[in-house]
Amino acid sequence: MRLLLLLLLLAMPLVNRAAITDQPVQSGAASIYDELQSTCKVLLDKGMQGNITTLSKFYAATSNAPIREALTAATSLYWMLRQQIGESDKYAEHLQKNFPNSMYHSLVDKSANLITCTNCQNGIGSIPCADCGGNGKCRSCGGRGKVAGMMAGGATFSAAPSPAGGAARPAGGALRPAGGGGGGITRLGDPVTPSRRADLTSTPQQACAVCEGSGTCKRCKGTKLGQGKCPFCQGLKSIFVQPRTMLAYIDIVTHLRNLALAASMAERGKIRLDGRWYEAAAANRLLQQREKEAADFARGATEAEYVTNYPAALQLLDATIQHYPTSTYTGDVLRIRELMLIDAADSKLSPKVIQGPAIMEAIQNNPAFDIRGVLNAVLTACRRGTNAPLLLADNTKLSLPEDPLRWQIGEPTLIGRAARVPATIDRPSRTGFTITEAWEFRLIYNRNQWQVWQAAAP
C-alpha cells in the first residue's frame, strides 16, 4: 500500500492542472497535432489572458521531443510573466532535467529576465493608506475637522425635525430646546417658524477627537500613502523585463505551432517541397520530373556553350525554354541567355566566336572560385552584418538570411554556367533560440567567378 501511495505521489502534476508528466504515448497523433496548432493560435491571440493550462495534455499525448521541449519552455515563461516564480521554476527545472541541451535554457533563466525594482526598498513600497483608503481624509469626520456637538447629559442633537413634523429630539430622547429665545420647548404640533427652522438645522459642532480638528488622516498625515508590499514587484525586490520575456513567450509559442504543423504533416505522410505540402507519391513524382527537367536544361545549356556562334547558342536555349515554359529551372536558363548577350556585346571578337568552352573549362578546373567557397563567404558576411558585393550578381536584390549562426551547404545542381545549391541554416529568433531553415541559393558564373543572383527563402 505504501508503494502504491508513493507511485501516486510521483505521478502527481508539476503544478495543479498545468502538469507536464511523462506518460505512455499513443500512435497516430495527427489530430492531436492539429489541436495543438489551434490551441497555440488561441494563446497567441489572447496573449497573457490565454489559459496556458490547455497545453498540459499535449505533453503526455506525444513522444515528439522538440514539441515537449517547447511546451515546457513556453509554460515556464508564461508563469514567469505572471510573476508566479515558483510555478515558473518547476518547469525550468523540468526542462533542465529532461532536456539538458535545450536551446531555451537561457530564456527561462529568471536571472536573465530580472532587474532591481526601483519603486521600493527590499520589497517594501508605497501603497494607499489603509486607514483612509488613499484619500488623505480623516475617516471619522470625513475631512471636515468637526463632528456633531453633544447636549448636557451626553445626548447628540439631531439635525432635522422628526418625521412627524414636530420637535427634533435628541438622540437620548429629550425634547429639543425651542428657538426664538422663548425659553420653552418645541412640542408636537407646534408650528415651525423661520427662526425655529434655522435653529433646527444648525447643529452645534465640536472638533473631531480623532484628527484633533485637522481633517486629515492621522496615520498618513494627509499624504494618502502607507507602507506595505511593493505593488510593482509584489515584494520580490525585482521585476521582470516584460518586453523581452513576452517576446520570448510569443516566439516559442509560434515555434511550437510550426512544430505541430510539421509533425501533423509528417504523421500523414506528407512532404514539404518549395514551401508546400504534398502527398508522398505526388512529391516523388514531382521530384522525378524535376530531375528530368534539370538533366534536359543542363544538356541544352552545355550544348549552347559549345556551339560555334551566339545565334545558334541562343536558339538552343530558347528551344529548351519552350519545351519547359513553367519549369523551376527556366529562370536559370534565361539568366544564362542574358549573360551570353552581354558577352557578345562586350566581345571585340567576331560574333561567330563564342566564349563558352573557356567558361566551362574554368568552371570545372578553377578551385579558387568554387561554389561552396562563395556561399561560405556570403553567409559569413551576413553573420558579420556586412555583405560581399563582388560575390553578388549585378542588379541583384537578395533577401539573404539575417544573422546566420551555422550552415551546411548541400550538393550543387549545375545547368551550364548556372548552379542551384541547397543549404540548411540555423539562425536565432528575436529572443535568441535557434531556428533551422532550408534555403536554396542560385548562382551564375560571370566575370571569371561564381556570383549569387537569387536566394530563395523557406
Mean pLDDT in residue range 180-192: 48
Burial letters 350-377, b for 16+ CB under 10 A, else e: eeeebbbeebbebbeeeeebebeebbee
Q: Do 342 and 379 share a structural domain?
A: no
Confidence class for position 322, pLDDT limits 50, 70, 90: very high
Q: In total, how many domains does the chain have? A: 3
Instruction: Average the pLDDT over 53-62 and give the result.
Output: 89
pLDDT tens string 328-345: 899 999 998 888 887 777
172 φ/ψ sector (left φ>0, alpha ψ -120 to 50, else beta): alpha
Q: For the whole model, what pTM was predicted? A: 0.59
CA angle 241/244/250 to nearest 5° reads 130
Using N-to-C axis directions, what is the helix angle for 242-267 and 65-81, rounded to 10°?
160
Nearest residue to 308 (alpha-carbon basis) of 297, 299, 316: 316
**Dist. CA 281–CA 286, nearest whole Å:** 9
CATH number at residue 413: 3.10.450.50
Residue 302 shares a structural domain with residue 353: yes
Residue 38 belongs to a domain: yes
Residue 170 included in any domain: no
Question: Which has the minimum average pLDDT: 179-183, 214-218, 374-378?
Answer: 179-183
**Cα Rg, the chain, nearest whole Å:** 41
Summarize the confidence of residues 240-261 as an average pLDDT.
85
The answer to whether 265 and 277 are in contact (CB under 8 A) is: yes
Place of cell 447629559: 153
The DSSP code sequence of 388-413 is: -GGGB-TT----PPSS--EEEE---E
92 close to 76: Cβ distance less than 8 angstroms: yes
Q: For residue range 371-402, what is the model confidence (pLDDT) as tens digits?
A: 888 899 999 988 888 877 778 887 667 788 88
Higher pLDDT, 5 or 300: 300
Lowest mean pLDDT among 122-126, 200-204, 354-358, 427-431: 200-204
Same domain, 18 and 97: yes
Q: What is the rounded average pLDDT for all residues in the chain? A: 77
Lowest mean pLDDT among 197-201, 267-271, 409-413: 197-201
Q: Are 315 and 323 in contact (CB under 8 A)?
A: no
Residue 179, pLDDT above cutoff 50: no
What DSSP assignment string belongs to 124-189?
A: EEEEE-TTTTTS-B-TTTTTSSEEE-B-TTSPBPPSS--TTSSPPPPTTSPPPBPSTT---B--TT
392 and 246, same structural domain?
no
- The pLDDT-based confidence of 445 (bands split at 50, 70, 90) is confident
52 to 61, 178, 303: CA distances (angstroms) = 16, 73, 62
The reply to whether 246 and 279 lie within a common domain is no
Q: Do residues 386 and 403 share a domain? A: yes
Highest mean pLDDT among 7-21, 76-90, 98-112, 248-262: 248-262
The domain boundary residue, chosen from 233, 268, 303:
268
For the stretch 114-163, pLDDT in tens is: 677 777 767 777 778 878 878 888 888 888 888 876 544 444 444 444 44
Q: Is residue 219 part of a domain?
A: no
Distance of alpha carbon 253 from alpha carbon 50, whole angstroms: 12
User: Whole-angstrom Cα distance, residue 157 to residue 172?
Assistant: 9
Shared domain check, 109 and 16? yes
**Residue 128 resides in a domain:** no
One domain for residues 60 and 82: yes
Matching residue, cell 527563402: 457
Instruction: Tell me how far apart the alpha carbons of residues 215 and 205 are, in angstroms, rounded to a whole number.
Output: 14
pLDDT value at 262 more than 50: yes
342 within a domain of the structure (yes/no): yes
Element (H, E) at 302: helix 280-306
Mean pLDDT highest for which of 28-42, 175-189, 269-283? 28-42
Q: Tell me what the mean pLDDT of segment 13-34 comes to.
A: 56
Range of the domain at 109: 12-113+241-268
Tell me: do 356 and 436 sit in the same domain: no
Cβ count near 11 (within 10 Å):
11
